Amino acid sequence: MTSTRFSIITPNYNGERFLEQTLQSVISQTGSTIELEYIVIDGGSTDGSQEILQYYQENIAHTVIEPDTGPANAINKGLQQATGDVIAWLNADDLYYPRTLERVAQALQARPDAAFCFGRCPIINEQGQEIRSGITRCKEFFYPFSSRFTYQCINYLSQPALFFRRQAVEQAGLLPEDMVAAWDYDFILRLWHSGDAVQVAGSPLAAFRWHEESISGQNFQVQFKEEYLSVKKDAGSFSLQTLFHFFVRWGIVGSYSAMAQIRKKQQG
């Protein structure tokens, strides 16, 4: 297998709690066929994040520490610096599993027509234990039917386990910074215009950490509204995909709201 250069971007702001585990999961991916350009964009953290970054500075190609307007703005700064053949971002509370980049490189080399690839991505809690496995299985149900049409109907891809070809990123453009929570979904919708997505079969590539302070934990109603508006823009207001997404949106919001009420009762 020929060598592949990866640019991985980690946006961080006061993410000391999980940051070191995230950094280690990325740094450990290097190998004989994997060249890693690791870019960390810190929004001026006031916790212990900068001390952690200092400790790992030899393993980080570019570290930017300056105020930003949010994660989309931070990731855009990283995208503008990235020089890799394959680009991705991993938030400061998520993680990669061993050999993830090697497996991604193999999948993309086998499918030169694919614009990006995806894989399995369980949801974990603060302690790293898998939770909400039903949601994960529901997303994985759509993997065999993966297409731009399917993705317009329902967001079944988990961002930490997505990897994009450089050319597709350049064609899609930067992330929208005027969105609260669905800027990644909007961006991925645009990636589909550059080609298909290929699945990396087998064990999970990454883990998404859900906690009360995470974006999806705080803003899920806004997130699904923004996703619906993105589909209207991409597929058309009166398309079948937009209609289907409308009903999916309210079903998911209802389920998440019910789970939130259950957590409040348990905590109370």
Instruction: Write down the pTM of the prediction.
Output: 0.92
Share of the chain above pLDDT 70, in %: 90
pLDDT at 253: 57
Query: What is 4-212's CATH number, 3.40.190.10, 3.90.550.10, 3.40.50.2300, 3.50.50.60?
Result: 3.90.550.10
| pLDDT per residue as tens digits for the range 126-185 | 999 999 999 999 999 999 999 999 999 999 999 999 999 999 999 999 999 999 999 999
pLDDT at 223: 87
pLDDT at 214: 58
Residue 56, classed as helix, strand or coil, is: coil
pLDDT at 256: 58
Q: Which residues of 169-185 are buried (b: 16+ CB within 10 A; e: fewer)?
A: beebeebbeebebbbbb
CB 146, CB 114: distance < 8 Å = no
**Mean predicted confidence (pLDDT) in 200-216:** 85
Confidence of residue 6 (pLDDT cuts 50, 70, 90): very high
224 vs 236: which has the higher pLDDT: 236
| pLDDT per residue as tens digits for the range 61-104 | 999 999 999 999 999 999 999 999 999 999 999 999 999 999 99
Of the listed ranges 61-70, 115-124, 159-168, 214-223, the least confidently predicted one is: 214-223
186 vs 1: which has the higher pLDDT: 186
Q: Which amino acid is at 112?
A: P
Q: Which of 137, 99, 95, 22 is nearest to 107 (CA)?
A: 99
pLDDT at 48: 97
pLDDT at 211: 77
User: Does the pLDDT of residue 267 top 70, yes or no?
Assistant: no
**Mean predicted confidence (pLDDT) in 103-118:** 97
User: Does the pLDDT of residue 218 top 60, yes or no?
Assistant: no
Residue ranges of the domains in the chain?
Answer: 4-212
User: 10 Å Cβ neighbour count for 19?
Assistant: 23
Distance, in Å, from the CA atom of 184 to the CA atom of 174, rounded to the nearest integer, reads: 10
Distance, in Å, from the CA atom of 36 to the CA atom of 31, rounded to the nearest integer, reads: 9
Of the listed ranges 24-28, 71-75, 147-151, 221-225, the least confidently predicted one is: 221-225
**Mean predicted confidence (pLDDT) in 104-111:** 97
